[in-house]
Protein backbone atom coordinates (compact mmCIF):
# COMPACT_ATOMS: atom_id res chain seq x y z
CA UNK A 1 0.00 0.00 0.00
CA UNK A 2 1.29 3.46 -0.88
CA UNK A 3 2.13 6.05 1.74
CA UNK A 4 -0.67 8.56 2.26
CA UNK A 5 -0.21 11.91 0.59
CA UNK A 6 1.11 14.67 2.83
CA UNK A 7 -1.68 17.27 3.14
CA UNK A 8 1.02 19.97 3.37
CA UNK A 9 2.94 18.86 0.27
CA UNK A 10 2.11 22.11 -1.55
CA UNK A 11 2.39 24.36 1.48
CA UNK A 12 5.52 26.13 0.19
CA UNK A 13 4.03 26.79 -3.23
CA UNK A 14 2.62 30.27 -3.79
CA UNK A 15 -1.15 30.35 -4.42
CA UNK A 16 -0.76 31.84 -7.89
CA UNK A 17 -0.69 30.56 -11.44
CA UNK A 18 2.38 28.59 -12.42
CA UNK A 19 5.23 30.93 -13.36
CA UNK A 20 6.28 28.90 -16.39
CA UNK A 21 4.07 29.60 -19.38
CA UNK A 22 5.60 27.13 -21.79
CA UNK A 23 2.44 25.04 -21.73
CA UNK A 24 0.41 27.65 -23.61
CA UNK A 25 0.02 27.48 -27.34
CA UNK A 26 2.68 30.01 -28.38
CA UNK A 27 5.44 30.52 -25.77
CA UNK A 28 7.47 27.42 -26.62
CA UNK A 29 7.20 28.22 -30.32
CA UNK A 30 8.37 31.80 -29.72
CA UNK A 31 11.31 30.47 -27.70
CA UNK A 32 12.23 28.20 -30.62
CA UNK A 33 12.01 31.14 -33.03
CA UNK A 34 14.36 33.20 -30.85
CA UNK A 35 16.74 30.35 -30.02
CA UNK A 36 19.33 31.16 -32.68
CA UNK A 37 19.01 34.94 -33.06
CA UNK A 38 16.94 38.01 -32.19
CA UNK A 39 13.87 38.44 -34.38
CA UNK A 40 11.51 41.19 -35.39
CA UNK A 41 7.76 41.04 -34.81
CA UNK A 42 7.01 40.44 -38.50
CA UNK A 43 9.51 37.55 -38.66
CA UNK A 44 7.83 35.90 -35.70
CA UNK A 45 4.34 36.47 -37.08
CA UNK A 46 5.26 35.02 -40.49
CA UNK A 47 6.65 31.86 -38.90
CA UNK A 48 3.90 31.43 -36.31
CA UNK A 49 1.12 30.85 -38.80
CA UNK A 50 -2.27 31.40 -37.28
CA UNK A 51 -1.23 33.77 -34.50
CA UNK A 52 -2.98 37.12 -34.54
CA UNK A 53 -0.98 40.33 -34.00
CA UNK A 54 -2.90 40.85 -30.73
CA UNK A 55 -2.04 37.39 -29.38
CA UNK A 56 1.59 37.69 -30.47
CA UNK A 57 1.84 41.08 -28.75
CA UNK A 58 0.26 39.68 -25.57
CA UNK A 59 2.56 36.65 -25.62
CA UNK A 60 5.68 38.75 -26.14
CA UNK A 61 4.65 41.16 -23.35
CA UNK A 62 4.02 38.27 -20.95
CA UNK A 63 7.37 36.72 -21.81
CA UNK A 64 9.10 40.08 -21.35
CA UNK A 65 7.34 40.59 -18.01
CA UNK A 66 8.48 37.14 -16.88
CA UNK A 67 12.08 37.86 -17.89
CA UNK A 68 12.18 35.31 -20.72
CA UNK A 69 13.00 37.85 -23.45
CA UNK A 70 14.04 41.42 -23.96
CA UNK A 71 12.48 43.93 -26.31
CA UNK A 72 14.81 46.47 -27.89
CA UNK A 73 13.36 49.43 -29.78
CA UNK A 74 15.75 51.23 -32.13
CA UNK A 75 15.37 54.94 -32.90
CA UNK A 76 15.16 54.50 -36.66
CA UNK A 77 12.75 55.30 -39.44
CA UNK A 78 10.91 53.07 -39.96
CA UNK A 79 10.92 51.97 -36.31
CA UNK A 80 12.62 48.64 -35.60
CA UNK A 81 12.04 46.39 -32.59
CA UNK A 82 13.94 43.19 -31.87
CA UNK A 83 13.09 40.43 -29.41
CA UNK A 84 15.89 38.37 -27.86
CA UNK A 85 15.90 35.51 -25.36
CA UNK A 86 17.41 36.24 -21.97
CA UNK A 87 19.50 33.69 -20.11
CA UNK A 88 16.35 32.82 -18.17
CA UNK A 89 14.51 32.22 -21.43
CA UNK A 90 17.40 30.13 -22.74
CA UNK A 91 17.26 28.00 -19.59
CA UNK A 92 13.92 26.62 -20.87
CA UNK A 93 15.44 25.17 -24.05
CA UNK A 94 16.86 22.07 -22.37
CA UNK A 95 13.58 21.11 -20.63
CA UNK A 96 11.74 21.81 -23.89
CA UNK A 97 14.16 19.50 -25.72
CA UNK A 98 13.43 16.79 -23.13
CA UNK A 99 9.69 17.27 -23.70
CA UNK A 100 10.16 16.99 -27.47
CA UNK A 101 12.21 13.82 -27.05
CA UNK A 102 9.53 12.35 -24.77
CA UNK A 103 6.91 13.17 -27.41
CA UNK A 104 8.97 11.53 -30.17
CA UNK A 105 9.23 8.36 -28.09
CA UNK A 106 5.71 8.19 -26.68
CA UNK A 107 3.31 10.15 -28.89
CA UNK A 108 1.98 7.08 -30.69
CA UNK A 109 1.37 5.36 -27.35
CA UNK A 110 -0.37 8.45 -25.97
CA UNK A 111 -2.59 8.71 -29.05
CA UNK A 112 -3.55 5.02 -28.79
CA UNK A 113 -4.48 5.56 -25.13
CA UNK A 114 -6.63 8.56 -26.08
CA UNK A 115 -8.32 6.65 -28.87
CA UNK A 116 -9.04 3.80 -26.48
CA UNK A 117 -10.38 6.17 -23.84
CA UNK A 118 -12.67 7.94 -26.33
CA UNK A 119 -13.97 4.61 -27.60
CA UNK A 120 -14.69 3.35 -24.09
CA UNK A 121 -16.41 6.56 -22.95
CA UNK A 122 -18.29 7.61 -26.07
CA UNK A 123 -18.43 4.59 -28.32
CA UNK A 124 -16.91 6.72 -31.08
CA UNK A 125 -13.72 5.13 -32.42
CA UNK A 126 -10.49 7.10 -32.71
CA UNK A 127 -11.41 10.66 -31.71
CA UNK A 128 -8.00 11.79 -30.44
CA UNK A 129 -6.28 13.27 -33.50
CA UNK A 130 -3.07 15.24 -33.43
CA UNK A 131 -4.89 18.57 -33.14
CA UNK A 132 -5.94 17.72 -29.57
CA UNK A 133 -2.38 17.62 -28.32
Q: CA 115 to CA 128: how far, in whole Å?
A: 5
Predicted local distance difference test score (pLDDT) of residue 20: 58
Q: CA 57 to CA 37: how far, in whole Å?
A: 19
User: Which residues lie below 8 Å from residue 86, measured CB to CB, with a gap of 6+?
Assistant: 67, 68, 69, 70
Q: CA 87 to CA 97: how far, in whole Å?
A: 16
For the stretch 53-106, pLDDT in tens is 999 999 999 999 999 999 999 999 988 999 999 999 999 999 989 988 888 899
For the stretch 109-127, pLDDT in tens is 999 999 999 899 887 776 6
- Report which secondary-structure segment, H or E, holds 71: strand 69-74
User: How far apart, in Å, are the Cα atoms of 132 and each of 3, 57, 87, 94, 128?
Assistant: 34, 25, 31, 24, 6
Q: Are strands 69-74 and 39-40 parallel, antiparallel or unpaired?
A: unpaired
Determine if the peptide bond prior to 128 is cis (ω within 30°).
no
Rama region for 67: left / alpha / beta (φ>0; ψ in -120 to 50; rest): left
Amino acid sequence: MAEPLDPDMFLGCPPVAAPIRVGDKWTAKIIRCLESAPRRFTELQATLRGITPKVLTESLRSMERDGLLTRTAYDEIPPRVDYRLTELGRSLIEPMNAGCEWSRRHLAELMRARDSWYESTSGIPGRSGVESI
